[in-house]
Amino acid sequence: MSNALPRLRMDLDFMPSPDPERPGLVIRDPFHYSDVMLIVPPPLVPLLEMFDGQTTGNELRELLMRMTGDPNVDQVEANFLGMLSSAGFLHDEVFEQKRETRHREFAAAPVRAASHAGAAYPAEKEEARNLFTEYMQGDEPYEDGNLLAIAAPHVSPFGGFDCYRAAYRALRPEHRERTFVILGTSHYGEPDRFGLTRKNFVTPFGEAVTDTALVDELAAAAPGAVEMEDYCHATEHSIEFQVAFLQHTLDGPARTSSLLGLDGRPMMTGGLLGPDGRPLSGSQGHQIKILPILCGAFAHSIYEGGMPEDNPDVARFLGALGEMAARRSRDLVFVLGVDMAHMGQRYGDQITALAGEPEMNEVEQRDRARIAALCSGDAKGYWELVQQNQDDLKWCGASPFYAFAKALPNARGSLRRYGQWNIDEASVVSFAGMTFTH
């Protein structure tokens, strides 16, 4: 239809305004094609339904006239349409230009810059180090022989630091030279695809080196399942937060607090610390090695049935990942950046979700059933639990967990800490700190 209004992008974030002084619907772009955040006032929210790619401008004006009782609504229409378009929220030429520019900039960038520093955690190194040191205080470190993997949240660190700490306490000085295979949730990536990049990751703690040989190996083994130089890496937090915790735990001054012996004193193992408790000369420059993988949702399997590996491309990727893990078992540690349930009004539920209330106690029981299946190595049983009610728990970490369980079927897990956090007054995210061994 030539005079139809452009479609509103459905990959945007929509949520109620948290500001009682400015009620309405908040719209923002998780891809950062646009840095604009709009608050649409309540009377104008129904207008958004008109941007479906089929409704015409005449129909929009008719609705405005019925809403206002004023036949002179052309300026209101033009302002509303212009606001959405200039923000990059419509499928039109403005958006296409913004998207093309962002993709081109990411492809040309020499590194993957920290996109959440300054918001979810400090952008300045010393401030970040002090805060992460705070986060890591509390639990005693523990030995987990033959450590194969850890699973930590990817919720904002200030909301889930107890579970981050529970996972990262398992890392020891001898793990510093391993390559960390980070399986992160791709919140906005294509289903049944794995996002790869050859770029190094930069955080306030420094630069983590991506093992490009392993990236290329996976890309060659399962090209149909891979999105190479996936733009989602530019904005995704599920890997960035893990890189920052890895760097803090294993690289530089933060080791004085995050790597302690069983007596609570700084460890001297491997020459990491001198007699004064400070890093030995040269150790501060160590760069961790990573293999960052974003896991798209296995949506078809959840909604239509069957197993994720029924898709032959997914099967090839998981097979290649498993073969790599078996061949390099002494060189790799897996890190899963995964949250669990998402409940409440922010996530489309009618209930007001409050951590610790009866509804969330039931969610915890169901979370723990899935965790138990993962810990026992029962990938099939775990996925059947995910498929129940088409994953009404909305585990955004479902696909990284399953990818790990299928690629490394002999892994056995331990739940170190489970947590729930009210991300707002009506919505809860759950997560856990876990370890896996051979």
86-128 pLDDT per residue, tens: 999 999 999 999 999 999 999 999 999 999 999 999 999 999 9
Helix (H, G, I), strand (E, B) or coil at 423: strand
CATH superfamily for domain 114-437: LigB-like (3.40.830.10)
Domain locations along the chain: 13-101, 114-437
pLDDT, residue 285, reads 57
379-437 pLDDT per residue, tens: 999 999 999 999 999 999 999 999 999 999 999 999 999 999 999 999 999 999 999 99
**Percentage of the chain surpassing pLDDT 70?**
91
Helix (H, G, I), strand (E, B) or coil at 374: helix
Look at the alpha carbons of 323, 214, 240, 196 in this order and tell me if their dihedral is positive or negative.
negative
For residue 142, pLDDT beyond 90:
no
353/15: higher pLDDT:
353
Strand pairing class (206-210; 289-295): parallel
pLDDT band at 286 (very low <50, low <70, confident <90, very high): confident
The burial class, CB within 10 Å (0-12 / 13-18 / 19+), for 35 is exposed
As given in the structure block, the two tokens for residue 323 are: 């073969």
Can you tell me the distance from the alpha carbon of 211 to that of 195, in angstroms, rounded to the nearest whole number? Answer: 15
173-221 pLDDT per residue, tens: 989 999 999 999 999 999 999 999 999 999 999 999 999 999 999 999 9
CB-based contact 164:245 (threshold 8 Å): yes
pLDDT, residue 2, reads 59
236-250 pLDDT per residue, tens: 999 999 999 999 999
pTM of the model: 0.86
CA-nearest of 395, 410, 417 to 151 is 417
289-330 pLDDT per residue, tens: 999 999 999 999 999 999 999 999 999 999 999 999 999 999
pLDDT, residue 3, reads 83
As given in the structure block, the two tokens for residue 295 are: 């896991």
Q: 3-state SS string over 235-295?
A: HCHHHHHHHHHHHHHHCCCCHHHHCECCCCCECCHHHCECCCCCECCCHHHCCCEEEEEEE
pLDDT, residue 288, reads 96
The number of residues making up the chain comes to: 438
pLDDT, residue 144, reads 66
64 Ramachandran zone, left/alpha/beta (phi>0; psi -120 to 50)? alpha
Strand partners, 116: none
Helix (H, G, I), strand (E, B) or coil at 128: helix
pLDDT band at 74 (very low <50, low <70, confident <90, very high): confident
Can you tell me the distance from the alpha carbon of 152 to that of 241, in angstroms, rounded to the nearest whole number? Answer: 10
Q: What is the CA radius of gyration of the chain?
A: 23
